[in-house]
Structures are given as C-alpha cells and as structure tokens.
Amino acid sequence: MRKLLLLSCALASLAVAACGTSGKKEEDAAVTAERPVETIYNEAADELDAGKYKKAARLFNEVERQHPYSQWATQAELMAAFALYKGESYDEASIGLEEFIRLHPGHKDIDYAYYLRGLCSYDQITDVTRDQDMTKEALENFDTLLRLFPESKYARDTKLKRDLTLDHLAGKQMEVGRYYLTRNYYTAAVKRFMVVVHNYQTTTHVPEALHRLVEAYMHLGMMDEATRVAAVLGYNYPGSEWYQDSYNILNTEQRAKLLDDRSFTDRTIDALLKPQ
C-alpha cells in the first residue's frame, strides 16, 4: 500500500511538472506569435502596467524583432529596458540601454536613456561598509547626463541623486578613516579625511572630517597643522559641534592663535591644499 501511495505521488508530481512545462511553452508561443505591431506593443504596455515586467520586456523585444523597421521598434527598445529596470534586472537593462544609446544617439528620448542607465546603478548602491563600485558607476553616469544634456527635464533629479552619491562616497571615506583613527594609524586616517575635504566639499561629512584631521594631527604632534585645520573648521562651520570638539582638544597656545584673526590669512577649505 505504501509503495502504491509513493508511486501515486510521484506520478502526480510528474503531471504537475508536465503542466508547468506545457504552460511555459504555450506562453512562449503566445509571446513570439506573429501579430500586428500595434497589438504586440499594446499587450506589452498592458503587461507593464500589471507589473509583469519580464513578460513586458519580452513583448517589447518582440516588437523590434518582428517589426524592425516600424515606427514602434525604436521606442520598444527603450521600453524593454525600462521594463527590465522595473523588474530589477539591472544588468540586462543596462546592456539594453548601452545598445540603445549606441544605435540611437539622436533619439528624442536619448537623455532618458542616460538617466535610466544612471538609475540602474543608483538603485544598487549599498551601505558604506560595503564595496562602492555601483556608487562610482552611478556618479559617472549622472555626470555624463549632466554634461551632455544640462537642460534635460531629468537634470534636476539627476543633480539631487548625484549629490547623494557624493555623500555616500564621502561616507565610505569617513568610515575607513575612523577605522584607522581608532587603531592609531594616524597618517592613514589623515589621507582618508583629506580626500573628503578636497573631493567632497559639498557633502555633509566635511565638518566631521576637519575635526578628525585635528584629532589625528594632535596625536601626531603636528600642532601647527591641527591649529590650521581647526581655524578652517571654525571659519566655515562656526556653530558646528565638531568645531567645539576641536577647540576643546587644543592647548592654550593653539586656542590663542584661533582667537587672533591675523594668525591665518586664508581660512578657506582650499587653503588646506596650499603648501606651508
């Protein structure tokens, strides 16, 4: 009896698998069936609206395959990439967008193709404790869009997302710099904080980076450098808690220099690049 039951279950499983395979074949046949271009395109749009992104992408690709010379074909290429992006198939979407940009540089929606390519990278950004290759790629893509199409309707959102990628990259440098600082690798920490100060001046991390530089220089016994950075911090961020923290760790002589405006003729962040 037990053997018969196991055999029945096995046969039932095979039947379900066969039905699944049969259903997949039927769906594939329906997608690739020869039909008028408007029919395929509208079906693809309906699948996209329904959230069936992979099927939508396949149907948009069928528009281009079956009707390559129609007025719908080029737009379908872009829509296929959009459907893949919505379905979080970012690599496939990026490949499609690269091809679209290469083949149709003068298309009316070419700026959107660049924008969408940036989003494919941007949506894959991870926290600052992990690798930031996608963040760098997103920044590069956004920079390209803003350089080629500064008046694009996507420029405003691109600038916002670009600022966020910069803040993320600065955060990564800060995370590594703090690691070095807490382990007494002060020279290595200085290099990381300097990257933030020099390369990411518009980000929210600069005040802390300046303070951490003061800390590192104090540990290294580089009192003049510590005082100079504290002066830059106080001049640019006078109400910052980071400036107060820096002021508290300076000695009496250093504090006196901060109060003497004639001690530092240039307190801009760029002044930190200048040789002493």
Q: What angle do CA 140, 145, 151 make, to 5 degrees?
A: 150
Distance CA 198, CA 192 (A): 10
Q: What is the pLDDT of residue 16?
A: 47
Q: What is the pLDDT of residue 274?
A: 65
Distance CA 85, CA 68 (A): 22
Kind plus residue range of the DSSP H or E element containing 243? helix 241-249
Q: Are residues 268 and 232 in contact, defined by beta-carbon separation less than 8 angstroms?
A: yes
Q: What is the pLDDT of residue 128?
A: 80
Identify residue 34 by its one-letter amino acid code: E
Helical spans, DSSP H, in 50-87: 53-66, 73-86
Identify residue 274 by its one-letter amino acid code: K
Query: DSSP labels for 240-270?
Result: -HHHHHHHHHS-HHHHHHHH-GGG-S--SGG
Compute mean pLDDT per 10 residues along the chain, 276 residues long, and list them: 48 52 54 81 95 96 90 94 97 96 95 97 88 93 97 97 95 97 97 95 95 98 94 91 95 87 73 63
Q: What is the pLDDT of residue 266?
A: 75
Q: What is the pLDDT of residue 212?
A: 98
pTM for this structure? 0.80
Tokens of residue 85, six digits: 């992006």
Distance CA 103, CA 28 (A): 28
CA 157 to chain centre: 13
Query: DSSP labels for 26-55?
Result: HHHHHHHS---HHHHHHHHHHHHHTT-HHH
Q: What is the pLDDT of residue 37?
A: 87
Q: What angle do CA 61, 62, 65 make, to 5 degrees?
A: 90
Give the list of residues 6+ apart from residue 272 with CB closer than 8 angstroms, or none.
194, 197, 198, 228, 229, 232
Write down the domain spans for the chain: 184-276
